[in-house]
Structure formats: structure tokens, C-alpha cells
């Protein structure tokens, strides 16, 4: 049986590949559980300093496996959407709070929860065939996997309403303009390599500082200036005590390149 989630380690970069290409990498229970549990492991793994999230084949992720979902509905189950609490929420929480950079290699279609996964990454790399579709309303559902939180922060409230309610595809160039994509490469075949190259660059950086930047931005997004200032003070207290800060400061003074060890 083929593994639903492939885990590949290259130095300090871990690439997670959603591996159901014949189903456009749609999220069945096996894949959701593997992704949830692996993200939890990587969060605590200090040897991992950057994560790449990718999809096998020509699509990133088509969202929830609706064939599996139909079977659940037809079974008469009264908790057919418990997967939100059991799978999608923990996955979203892990991705958003991951104390190291996350790069999404978004090749092809990212729809529904698949698009939501991409939006939780810190950086999203796409190619000419990349597109996003907030498909939830097409099947009578509201947003999940954090899209109600990430999407307005990426494109603004009004555009988020439009994308979620009209459920129209957003092609690559428009996605770049809106900020759904961070970078776009000329060839779809180069999307994963470009994402992994960025992840390797980040993995060689100040990992503790990157985690602190993510936390303070999250606080600032939802809070007041006072909240942001408090988060900045806390972040600097943590980062200022790291070996990376001390070494990089000495390297700067001595006009030498900084070498970060992620601690």
C-alpha cells in the first residue's frame, strides 16, 4: 500500500508530500492523520529547521476527499464533520504555530482545505498552472482549516468574502498580485525545487528568531499596539539569549559572515 504522506529529509529541511496523485491529493482520513501527527513530531524536532509542503503529481491538494465524505454521509452518521475538530483544526494550529519556517510548493490546483493548507505556510511558491479555489460554498459549507483567519490577512476582508462566496478560481498571476502566492517560477517543474531552495536558505538562518517573528506577527495581527510591543519585548528577550544572536553579532563586528546553528 502506498504511503499517503511522504517524508523526505535533506539536511535540516523536511519535505512533506501529499501522496494521493490519482485523487489530486485529496485529504482522506489516512492522509489527514499522517499530516497531523507528522507536523506534531516536526514541531519538537530540533534537527528540522524548515518544512516544505508539496503535492505529488500535477496538483497540490483538492481538499477534502468527497468520495470518502459521501460514504460517511450515507452511513447516517450524525458527526460527519467531526473531521474539522479531529483533523483540520489540529493541522491548522500546528502549521500556523510551527516554530520554524514553512514553505508551500503549490503546483497545480489548491482547492478547499488544500488552499487553506497553503495559506498557512509562511511562503508559497507557484508556477503557471497554480490556481486556488475556495470551493467550500460549492458543497454547502463554510470555510475551514483556518481559511477564515488566513484569507482576510492575505487579501483583505472584502476580497476574502468574494473568494469564499463566489468560489471562483484564482489563477497564478492574479494569485501573485493578491499575495496568495509569494513567488512564481516560470516552469511548473521548477516549483518544488524553488520551494526547497528557499527552505534550505531559511534552514541555514536563525531558527529561534524566525519562530519569534511568526509569534509576534500573530499577536500583532489580532491585538493592539501595546500587545505588539509586549510581544516584541518577549521575543527579543528570547532571541537575545541565543547562541545565534551572540555569534552573529560578533561576526558582524568582525566583518565576517554569520553562521547560524538554530539555537
Angle, nearest 10°, between helix axes 89-97 and 29-44?
Answer: 30
Q: DSSP labels for 19-84?
A: --GGGTT-B-HHHHHHHHHHHHHHHH-TT--EEEEEESTT-SB--B-HHHHHHHHHTT-S-TTTHI
All three cell numbers of 247: 555569534
Choose among 98, 154, 149, 146: nearest CA to 124.
154
The answer to whether 39 touches 98, Cβ cutoff 8 Å, is: yes
Identify the three-state secondary structure at position 125.
strand
The answer to whether 5 touches 17, Cβ cutoff 8 Å, is: yes
CA angle 225, 226, 232 (to 5 degrees): 90
- Separation of alpha carbons 156 and 170, rounded Å: 15
pLDDT mean values, one per 10 residues, the chain (263 residues): 90 97 96 97 96 97 85 67 92 96 98 98 98 96 96 97 98 97 96 98 96 94 92 95 93 91 90
Choose among 119, 132, 129: nearest CA to 182.
119
- Supply the DSSP symbol for 242: S
Position 77 scores a pLDDT of 64
Number of CB atoms found within 10 A of residue 189's CB: 10
Amino acid at each position: 500500500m502506498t504511503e499517503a504522506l511522504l517524508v523526505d529529509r535533506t539536511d535540516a529541511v523536511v519535505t512533506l508530500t501529499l501522496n494521493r496523485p490519482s485523487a489530486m491529493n485529496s485529504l482522506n482520513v489516512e492522509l489527514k492523520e499522517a499530516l497531523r501527527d507528522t507536523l506534531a513530531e516536526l514541531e519538537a524536532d530540533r534537527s528540522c529547521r524548515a518544512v516544505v509542503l508539496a503535492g505529488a503529481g500535477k496538483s497540490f491538494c483538492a481538499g477534502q476527499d468527497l468520495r470518502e465524505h459521501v460514504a460517511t454521509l450515507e452511513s447516517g452518521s450524525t458527526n460527519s464533520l467531526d473531521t474539522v475538530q479531529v483533523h483540520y483544526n489540529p493541522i491548522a494550529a500546528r502549521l500556523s504555530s510551527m516554530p520554524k519556517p514553512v514553505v508551500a510548493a503549490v503546483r497545480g490546483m489548491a482547492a478547499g482545505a488544500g488552499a487553506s493548507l497553503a495559506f498557512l505556510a509562511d511562503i508559497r511558491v507557484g508556477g503557471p498552472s497554480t490556481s486556488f479555489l475556495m470551493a467550500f460554498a460549492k458543497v454547502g459549507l463554510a470555510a475551514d482549516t483556518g481559511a477564515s483567519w488566513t484569507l482576510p490577512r492575505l487579501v483583505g476582508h472584502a476580497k476574502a468574502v468574494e473568494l469564499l462566496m463566489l468560489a471562483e478560481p484564482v489563477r497564478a498571476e492574479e494569485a501573485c498580485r493578491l499575495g496568495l502566492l509569494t513567488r512564481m517560477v516560470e516552469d511548473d517543474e521548477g516549483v518544488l525545487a524553488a520551494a526547497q531552495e528557499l527552505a534550505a536558505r531559511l534552514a541555514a538562518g536563525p531558527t529561534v528568531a524566525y519562530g519569534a517573528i511568526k509569534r509576534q506577527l500573530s499577536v500583532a495581527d489580532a491585538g493592539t499596539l501595546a500587545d505588539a510591543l509586549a510581544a516584541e519585548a518577549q521575543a527579543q528577550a528570547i532571541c537575545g539569549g541565543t547562541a545565534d544572536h551572540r555569534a552573529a553579532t560578533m561576526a558582524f563586528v568582525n566583518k565576517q559572515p554569520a553562521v547560524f546553528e538554530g539555537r
